Structure 1
Amino acid sequence: MFGLDLLWNATRTSWEFLGKMDYANLVDEMEQYLQYIGGGAGALALTGVAAASALYLASRPVPQRPLFPLDAQCVLEPEEQGGPDVIRVSRFYKDAKEGKFVSYLYADAKTLYESFRRGSKVSNNGPCLGWRESYQKPFQWLTYDEALLRARNLGSGLVSLGLQPGPSTMIGIYSINCPEWILVEQAAYCYSMVIVPLYDTLGADACAFIIRHAEMSVILVEDDTKCNSLLEKSPRCLKKLIVFKDIRPATLQRARNMGIEILKLADVELLGSKNSNPEVPPKPSDVCTVCYTSGTTGQPKGVMLTHENVVASMSAVILQFGDHKLRSDDVMLSFLPLAHMMERCCESAMYMQGGAVGFYLGDVRRLSDDMKALKPTVTPAVPRLLNRIYDKVQSDINGNCVKKMLFNMALRSKEAELKRGILRKNSFWDMLVFKKVQEGMGGRLRLMLVGSAPLAENVLTFIRCAMGCVVVEGYGQTECCAPVTLTIQGDHVPGHVGPPLACCCIKLADVPEMEYWARNNQGEVCVKGTNVFQGYFKDPDKTEEVVDEGGWHHTGDVGMWQPNGTLKIIDRRKHIFKLSQGEYIVPEKIENIYIRSQYVGQVFVHGESLKSCIVAVVVPDVDVIKCWAQEMGIPGTFSVLCNNSEIKRLIMDDMIAKGKEAGLKSFEQVKDIYLHPDPFSVQNGLLTPTLKSKRPQLKAYFKPQIEDMYSKLA
Structure 2
Amino acid sequence: MKINANINPVLLCFLHFFMWLYDLITFVPWFLLSGARERQSRAMRVKAKPVKDHPESPYRSVDSFHSLASSLYPGCDTLDKVFKHAADLFKKKDCLGTREILSEEDEIQPNGKVFKKVILGKYNWMSYEEAYSFASQFGSGLSALGQKPKSNIAIFCETRAEWIITAQACFIYNFPLVTLYATLGGPAIVHGLTETEVTHIITSKELLQTKLKAILPQVPLLKHVILVDGMGKQQVDIPKNITVHSMGAVQAFGAKQLHSHHSLPMAHDIAVIMYTSGSTGIPKGVMISHSNLIAGITGMAQRIPDLGENDTYIGYLPLAHVLELSAELVCLSRGSRVGYSSPQTLSDQSTKIKKGSKGDASELRPTLMAAVPEIMDRIYKNVMSKVASMSSVQRGLFSLAYNYKMKQISRGSTTPLCDRLVFRKVRKLLGGKMRVLLSGGAPLSAATQRFMNICFCCPVGQGYGLTETCGAGTITELGDYSTGRVGAPLVCCEIRLKNWEEGGYYNTDHPCPRGEILIGGPNVTMGYYKNVAKTKEDFFEDKNGQRWFCTGDIGEFHSDGCLKIIDRKKDLVKLQAGEYVSLGKVEAALKNLPLIDNICAYANSDQSYVIGFVVPNQKELFKLAENKGVQGSWEELCNNSILEREVLKVITESPAAATLERFEIPAKLRLVSEPWTPETGLVTDAFKLKRKELKSHYQEDIERLYGGK
User: What is the TM-score with the length of structure 1 in the denominator?
Assistant: 0.82
Q: How many residues align?
A: 652
Secondary structure at the aligned position of 1:268 is classed as helix
- Check whether the contact 1:615–1:709 (CA below 8 A) recurs between aligned residues: no
Quick check: 1:146 aligned with 2:130? yes
Secondary structure at the aligned position of 1:519 is classed as coil
* Aligned counterpart for 2:36 among listed residues 54, 57, 63: 63
- Check whether the contact 1:175–1:199 (CA below 8 A) recurs between aligned residues: yes
CA distance in 1, matches of 2:682, 2:464: 25
CA distance in 2, matches of 1:60, 1:408: 29
Change in Cα spacing, 1:454 to 1:147, as seen in structure 2 (3 Å) is same
* Aligned counterpart for 1:76 among listed residues 49, 53, 63: 49
Quick check: 1:406 aligned with 2:397? yes
Change in Cα spacing, 1:249 to 1:132, as seen in structure 2 (3 Å) is closer
CA distance in 1, matches of 2:577, 2:199: 52
Q: Structure 2: which amino acid aligns with 1:176?
A: E
Change in Cα spacing, 1:643 to 1:220, as seen in structure 2 (3 Å) is closer
Secondary structure at the aligned position of 2:279 is classed as coil
CA distance in 1, matches of 2:128, 2:420: 37
* Aligned counterpart for 2:681 among listed residues 673, 676, 685: 685
Range 538-547 or range 66-75, more displaced: 66-75
- Displacement after TM superposition at 1:118 (Å): 1.3
1:6 corresponding residue in structure 2: none
Change in Cα spacing, 1:110 to 1:456, as seen in structure 2 (3 Å) is same
- Displacement after TM superposition at 1:628 (Å): 4.8
CA distance in 2, matches of 1:709, 1:458: 31
Secondary structure at the aligned position of 2:121 is classed as coil
CA distance in 2, matches of 1:421, 1:640: 49
| RMSD of aligned alpha carbons | 3.5
- Check whether the contact 1:293–1:300 (CA below 8 A) recurs between aligned residues: yes
Quick check: 1:695 aligned with 2:685? no
1:194 corresponding residue in structure 2: 176
- Check whether the contact 1:285–1:308 (CA below 8 A) recurs between aligned residues: yes
Q: Deviations over 1:389-443 (max 9, x none)?
A: 433433443322332333234334544553453457xx33333222223333333
Q: Structure 1: which amino acid aligns with 2:497?
A: L
- Check whether the contact 1:76–1:86 (CA below 8 A) recurs between aligned residues: no
Change in Cα spacing, 1:317 to 1:605, as seen in structure 2 (3 Å) is closer
CA distance in 2, matches of 1:625, 1:711: 26
Structure 1 unaligned regions, length at least 5? 1-20, 28-51
Change in Cα spacing, 1:299 to 1:350, as seen in structure 2 (3 Å) is same
* Aligned counterpart for 2:329 among listed residues 348, 353, 359: 348
Which structure is higher in helix share? 1
* Aligned counterpart for 2:461 among listed residues 472, 478, 498: 472
Change in Cα spacing, 1:654 to 1:411, as seen in structure 2 (3 Å) is closer
2:252 corresponding residue in structure 1: 270
2:409 corresponding residue in structure 1: 418
* Aligned counterpart for 1:133 among listed residues 76, 95, 100: 100
CA distance in 1, matches of 2:641, 2:451: 42
Q: Deviations over 1:425-463 (max 9, x none)?
A: xx3333322222333333333333222232233332333
* Aligned counterpart for 1:555 among listed residues 526, 537, 551: 551
2:439 corresponding residue in structure 1: 450
Quick check: 1:568 aligned with 2:564? yes
- Check whether the contact 1:64–1:490 (CA below 8 A) recurs between aligned residues: no
Q: Structure 2: which amino acid aligns with 1:382?
A: V
Change in Cα spacing, 1:456 to 1:574, as seen in structure 2 (3 Å) is same
- Displacement after TM superposition at 1:593 (Å): 5.2
Secondary structure at the aligned position of 2:533 is classed as helix
1:664 corresponding residue in structure 2: 661
Quick check: 1:102 aligned with 2:84? no
- Displacement after TM superposition at 1:327 (Å): 1.5
* Aligned counterpart for 2:203 among listed residues 217, 221, 224: 221
CA distance in 2, matches of 1:707, 1:420: 51
- Displacement after TM superposition at 1:526 (Å): 1.3
* Aligned counterpart for 1:239 among listed residues 198, 202, 223: 223
- Displacement after TM superposition at 1:632 (Å): 4.4
CA distance in 1, matches of 2:466, 2:580: 26
Quick check: 1:172 aligned with 2:154? yes
Quick check: 1:300 aligned with 2:283? yes
Q: Deviations over 1:23-53 (max 9, x none)?
A: 79979xxxxxxxxxxxxxxxxxxxxxxxx99
Secondary structure at the aligned position of 1:208 is classed as helix
* Aligned counterpart for 2:528 among listed residues 507, 518, 536: 536
1:37 corresponding residue in structure 2: none
Secondary structure at the aligned position of 2:564 is classed as strand
- Check whether the contact 1:331–1:376 (CA below 8 A) recurs between aligned residues: yes
Change in Cα spacing, 1:469 to 1:59, as seen in structure 2 (3 Å) is farther
2:8 corresponding residue in structure 1: none
CA distance in 2, matches of 1:25, 1:696: 54
1:498 corresponding residue in structure 2: 487
1:317 corresponding residue in structure 2: 300
CA distance in 1, matches of 2:619, 2:387: 22
- Displacement after TM superposition at 1:604 (Å): 4.5
Structure 2 unaligned regions, length at least 5? 1-18, 102-118, 351-357
1:373 corresponding residue in structure 2: 363
CA distance in 1, matches of 2:270, 2:32: 51
Change in Cα spacing, 1:248 to 1:291, as seen in structure 2 (3 Å) is same
Secondary structure at the aligned position of 2:489 is classed as coil
Change in Cα spacing, 1:25 to 1:307, as seen in structure 2 (3 Å) is closer
User: What is the TM-score with the length of structure 2 in the denominator?
Assistant: 0.82
CA distance in 1, matches of 2:215, 2:461: 42
- Check whether the contact 1:130–1:139 (CA below 8 A) recurs between aligned residues: yes
Change in Cα spacing, 1:655 to 1:456, as seen in structure 2 (3 Å) is closer
Q: Structure 2: which amino acid aligns with 1:190?
A: I
* Aligned counterpart for 1:330 among listed residues 311, 321, 325: 311
- Check whether the contact 1:615–1:673 (CA below 8 A) recurs between aligned residues: no
- Check whether the contact 2:614–2:669 (CA below 8 A) recurs between aligned residues: no
- Check whether the contact 1:122–1:328 (CA below 8 A) recurs between aligned residues: no
Change in Cα spacing, 1:594 to 1:282, as seen in structure 2 (3 Å) is same
- Displacement after TM superposition at 1:644 (Å): 5.7
Secondary structure at the aligned position of 1:65 is classed as helix
Change in Cα spacing, 1:605 to 1:93, as seen in structure 2 (3 Å) is closer
- Displacement after TM superposition at 1:286 (Å): 1.3
Change in Cα spacing, 1:102 to 1:163, as seen in structure 2 (3 Å) is same
Secondary structure at the aligned position of 2:462 is classed as strand
User: How high is the sequence identity, in percent, across the aligned residues?
Assistant: 30
Q: Deviations over 1:651-679 (max 9, x none)?
A: 5566666798445365x566766666555
- Check whether the contact 2:496–2:518 (CA below 8 A) recurs between aligned residues: yes
Q: Structure 1: which amino acid aligns with 2:435?
A: R
Change in Cα spacing, 1:633 to 1:669, as seen in structure 2 (3 Å) is closer
- Displacement after TM superposition at 1:349 (Å): 1.4
